[in-house]
Structure 1
Amino acid sequence: MTRATPPDAFYDILRGVAALTGNSVVADLARLVADDMPPEIWIAFNHKQIGSKRWLVDALAQVLPQPQGPVWVLGAWYGVLGALLLADERLTIPAVVSVDLDSTCADVAERLNRRHVAAGRFRAVTADMMALDFAGQDSAPGLVINTSCEHLADVPGWLATLPPGLPLLLQSNDYFREPDHRSCVASLEAFKAQAGLSETLFAGALPTKNYTRFMLIGRR
């Protein structure tokens, strides 16, 4: 007979892992689980999602560790990437703005990042990335991150709306079989051509079991 795991057991396990590793993000996740574990948080923290975000953070630490303004994360879901960015001691990031079209994400993102919200370094916004006006912001973004370029109908068209010279981190993939993927690319070179960046600081590919993820860091 399979015995269900009590919800408070996940909290105790996460607190134990946080104590063992000293990882502040795990401690923040434990508090989120204790509050009210949101649906699909297990997907947001699975090994594939975290592996991809770890690759992103490592690359950013190499080529752009100190963005000159807030980092805007588009399609940010539950704010996990923002948490990893603000926790990494190799990076000097003044603030993260976490953007998602789903109105249920903002509350979860701010609860996960509650320490950074209190310090004025994190806020979650419900908005359509296609309608954002970065040139009109009170504080110019130091970096805009979009890890979901494959979901956009027109990647070059979206990029054309951004201010010239804006620092960007973009990801896409070659997973053409997914129906929601409308702008997949077949290779890293194809992604470079699609993005048309004026300057490229990093270009790389991360093979996974079912697809390859591509990443570019540079300027519009």
Structure 2
Amino acid sequence: MTQDPPSEAFHDLLRGVAALTDNAIANDIARLYGKGAPADLSIACNHKQVASKQWLVAALAETLPRPNGPVWVLGAWYGVLGALLLDDPGLTIGEVVSLDIEPACAAVAETLNHRHVAAGRFRAVTADMMSLDFGAQQPAPGLVINTSCEHLADVPGWLATLPAGLPLVLQSNDYVREPDHRSCVPSLAAFRAQAALSEVLFAGERPTKNYTRFMLIGRR
């Protein structure tokens, strides 16, 4: 469901911020709002969400800057992370596949990433990550990103379905007060134990006001 078109003043403000920052993604967000965007896009683009994604992009540029195949972003929502990945000069990514279980997300994600859709570098799909066979995908994924591990009922069980050696970026947190969080971990060490990756290239944590976010980059 989309919200009513934003007020002319608000839309002008967004376009002004895009002009001041000379940022292509800010301009894409302003364009999306002008077309009518979901009300919760403001959550997807808030400072905490963006900072978390920027942290991921920076860490990935230091560890796996050139994935050997498409990058799949799971639980991708409105495609903000995909936009950041494809615009970062420190990364060489041929294609991002933005996956979410909610059907309404795909159109918004492709509108936000319209430049990359036109270039054949972005596509959005509607599917359940828990039932998708990544080993059967052609071309084979070069990297799978899941920033929503806390939402899964069985993180080790899901990881066991993935091809051995598959490069991964995983995020979770310790925010147990959220009812939809079913696999929170109390520490980075606990997250490493839960994921049991065969190789860890990066392990870090990012404290916020209400919770700590954990991230692992490595191979299944």
Range of TM-score over shorter length: over 0.9
The whole-number CA distance in structure 1 between the counterparts of 2:68 and 2:14 is 34
Q: Who is 1:120 aligned against?
A: 120
Partner of 2:189: 189
2:215 maps to 1:215? yes
Alpha-carbon distance between aligned partners in 1 of 2:75 and 2:190, rounded to the nearest angstrom: 22
Q: CA deviation at 1:38?
A: 1.8
Post-superposition shift, 1:34?
0.9
Q: Which residue matches 1:14?
A: 14
TM-score (norm 2): 0.96
Q: Specify the alignment match of 1:202 in structure 2.
A: 202
The answer as to 2:115 corresponding to 1:111 is: no
Confirm whether residue 66 of structure 1 aligns to residue 78 of structure 2. Answer: no
1:123-144 residue CA offsets vs partner (Å, 9 max, x unmatched): 0000000011111111111100
- Distance (Å, rounded) in 1 between the aligned partners of 2:136 and 2:8: 45
Is this contact kept in 2: 1:10–1:33, CA < 8 A?
Answer: no
**For residues 58 and 94 of structure 1, what CA distance do their matches in structure 2 show?**
18
Deviations for 1:58-89, whole angstroms, at most 9, x for unmatched residues? 11111111111110000000000001111111
Q: Which residue of 2 aligns with 1:171?
A: 171
After superposition, the C-alpha distances for 1:4-30 in whole angstroms (9 at most, x for unaligned) are xx6222221222122221111001111
Q: Give me the whole-angstrom Cα distance separating, in 1, the residues matched to 2:204 and 2:166.
A: 20
Alpha-carbon offset, residue 37 of structure 1: 2.2
Structure 2: which amino acid aligns with 1:186?
P
Pairs within 5 Å for 1:137-156: 137-156=137-156
The CA deviation string for residues 75-108 of structure 1, in whole angstroms up to 9 with x for no partner, is 0000000011111111100000000000010000
Task: State the SS of the aligned residue for 2:175.
Answer: coil
In structure 2, what is the equivalent of residue 57 of structure 1?
57
SS of equivalent residue, structure 1 residue 156: helix
Aligned to 1:180: 180
Which residue matches 1:160?
Answer: 160
Distance in 1 separating the partners of 2:186 and 2:98: 29
Q: Aligned-residue CA RMSD in angstroms?
A: 0.8
* Runs of 4+ that moved beyond 3 A: none
Between the aligned partners of 2:22 and 2:87, the Cα distance in structure 1 is 11
- SS of the residue corresponding to residue 66 of structure 2 reads coil
Is 2:131 the partner of 1:131? yes
Partner of 1:3: none
Instruction: Give structure 2 stretches of 5+ with no counterpart.
Output: 1-5
Mapped partners of 2:161, 2:37: distance in 1: 37
For 1:63 and 1:7, locate their aligned partners in 2 and report how far apart those are by CA, in whole Å: 42
| d(CA) in 2 for partners of 1:8, 1:36 | 12
Q: Which runs of 5+ in 1 are unaligned?
A: 1-5
Distance 1:182 1:38 in 2: 26
Query: Quick one: which amino acid aligns to residue 124 of structure 1?
Result: A
